[in-house]
Amino acid sequence: MTKLGNDFENFKTWDKENYFHPWEGLKVQGAGKADRTFSEYAEGIYVYDEHGNKVIDGPGGMWCMQLGYGNAEIADAMAAQARKMAYCSPFSEATSVSAEFAHAIAERAPGDLNRVYFTTGGSTAVDTAIRFVHFRNNLLGKPAKKRIITRAHAYHGGTYLTASLSGKPSERQWFDTDQVLPHFLPDVNAFRRPAGMSIEAFLDEKVADLENAILELGADNAAAFIAEPVLGSGGVIVPPAGYHKRCLEVCRKHDVLYISDEVVTGFGRLGHWFASEELFGITPDIITCAKGLTSGYAPMGAAIFSDRLFKDIEGDVSKDVYFTSGYTYSGHPVCAAAGLKNIEIFERDGILEHVRKVTPHFQKRLHQMLELPLIVDVRGMGLVGCIECSLTREGQASAGIDATIGAVIDARCQELGLMVRPYGNMAIFSPPLVITEAQIDDMFDMLTEGVQRATRELLEQGLELEQERA
């Protein structure tokens, strides 16, 4: 990969002046805006930046590049579909590739989750799930049953509704969010449980939080509980074992629907098509997914509904009623072609089996990171991992300073050839699923060196590390 030419400066200018990015820093708005690194070429797990540097894509795009970059089979399938039938209105027509993809997803989804509603991404999948829950309760004559129970540090998307259900403080600042529908449960992160509390007691408390919330809202008002099986961008929080099952039991007891947001955990990230049933033993009422659905090659999401949810609203109850919600690009044929090819490759190449095979090595290397004095906690499952750093044992005392640690680690790792996803005092990893054990070693070797360099830098700034580590 050669360096990009001089005319590249134009793109830099246009990016600053004309491209209003997600997560835009406004303090240097306009032409003076901070430089973003350009990436123009990628292959497998590697991205080549504007200087020609080869960088491991630690975040796997945004947890989506399951099969890695440069997959010619997916590109060809998309091109062929674009030539054959580039678009088909999902409101009034049907086309074979989208029907086949819906069937392929339903076949792999747990239980009777057979109704696949295609969307443009994860946010619109969650949005649709909530709109359906409300629509259904209206049809059932339960207009008050609308409240949605969600959790601290959850991320469910960037639309008004899904952002309102998200509990990451960084993404709520300066925005308005709906204050009526959501009800937030406290943190399920066992790392932050009170000193001396056992995991069992913590689990009991977390399940009780849900039941108490339903009782407080009233079962006539509580419509659904939404939960990522593993809270992803909120810091890879794995709830205590048994949590999901017990929460589902509580939901069933009070006639509250369970929405499992598998936008991150679905499509192989944890070694299964979906994690809900295979790893956590639950068959939720609705699953939302996106990202890995097309391995990031095309924007697409899906809300998958249980047949059961339709039983009591079909027929006479809903005569002449239409679910009048949808997107121009729902079930887009080119995206569906990418998704179908994605599934075919997953099965032919044994991608789920591969993830299950390399996971122990990935998690072993992740857990070894805890030996570094800057790191106070590591969390992960499947091919997802997070390191949490702090200058103090609790990770609280110097919150202001801690918030910059992720950015320092990111900068040092980038120099070494590893892209990480910084989040405050954390760095998160979700590499392409095709990563080999040797590449996992490269990744964690660079991360170790990057954290050590970052630590030295922070110490040089006069910050002190607590010596004692539990």
Which residues are near ligand PLP by CB under 6 A? 121-123, 126, 155-158, 228, 232-233, 261, 263-264, 290, 301
* H-helix or E-strand spanning residue 227: strand 222-227
Provide the minimum distance between the beta carbon of 264 and ligand PLP in the complex, in angstroms, as a whole number: 5
Kindly tell me which of 45 and 154 has the beta carbon lying closer to ligand PLP: 154
φ/ψ of 195, rounded to 5, equals: -55, 135
Kindly tell me which of 280 and 444 has the beta carbon lying closer to ligand PLP: 280
* H-helix or E-strand spanning residue 277: helix 275-280
Kindly tell me which of 260 and 414 has the beta carbon lying closer to ligand PLP: 260
Q: DSSP string of 307-334?
A: THHHHTTSGGGGTT-------TTTT-HH
The closest alpha carbon to 248, from 238, 262, 237, 259, belongs to 259
Q: Which residue bears the tokens 């590390």?
A: 465
Q: Which residues contact 56 (CB under 8 A, 6 or more apart)?
A: 45, 46, 417, 418, 419, 431, 439, 442, 443, 446
Kindly tell me which of 48 and 57 has the beta carbon lying closer to ligand PLP: 57
Provide the minimum distance between the beta carbon of 376 and ligand PLP in the complex, in angstroms, as a whole number: 24
Kindly tell me which of 290 and 376 has the beta carbon lying closer to ligand PLP: 290
Provide the minimum distance between the beta carbon of 356 and ligand PLP in the complex, in angstroms, as a whole number: 22
Kindly tell me which of 178 and 437 has the beta carbon lying closer to ligand PLP: 178
Kindly tell me which of 62 and 80 has the beta carbon lying closer to ligand PLP: 62
Q: Which residue bears the tokens 């054959």?
A: 84
Provide the minimum distance between the beta carbon of 116 and ligand PLP in the complex, in angstroms, as a whole number: 16
Kindly tell me which of 427 and 451 has the beta carbon lying closer to ligand PLP: 427
In whole angstroms, give the CA distance from residue 303 to residue 91.
Answer: 16
Provide the minimum distance between the beta carbon of 68 and ligand PLP in the complex, in angstroms, as a whole number: 19
* H-helix or E-strand spanning residue 147: strand 147-151
Provide the minimum distance between the beta carbon of 22 and ligand PLP in the complex, in angstroms, as a whole number: 9
Provide the minimum distance between the beta carbon of 301 and ligand PLP in the complex, in angstroms, as a whole number: 6
Kindly tell me which of 282 and 446 has the beta carbon lying closer to ligand PLP: 282
Provide the minimum distance between the beta carbon of 310 and ligand PLP in the complex, in angstroms, as a whole number: 24
What distance lies between CA 208 and its chain's CA centroid? 26
Query: Over 30-80, what HEC string results?
Result: HHHCCCCCCEEEEEECEEEECCCCEEEECCHHHHCCCCCECCHHHHHHHHH
Provide the minimum distance between the beta carbon of 127 and ligand PLP in the complex, in angstroms, as a whole number: 9
φ/ψ of 460, rounded to 5, equals: -65, -25
Residue nearest to ligand PLP (CB): 122
Provide the minimum distance between the beta carbon of 156 and ligand PLP in the complex, in angstroms, as a whole number: 5
Query: What's the residue count for the chain?
Result: 470
Kindly tell me which of 167 and 271 has the beta carbon lying closer to ligand PLP: 167
In whole angstroms, give the CA distance from residue 184 to residue 186.
Answer: 7
Would you say 181 and 164 are in contact if contact means Cβ atoms under 8 Å apart? yes
Would you say 110 and 286 are in contact if contact means Cβ atoms under 8 Å apart? no
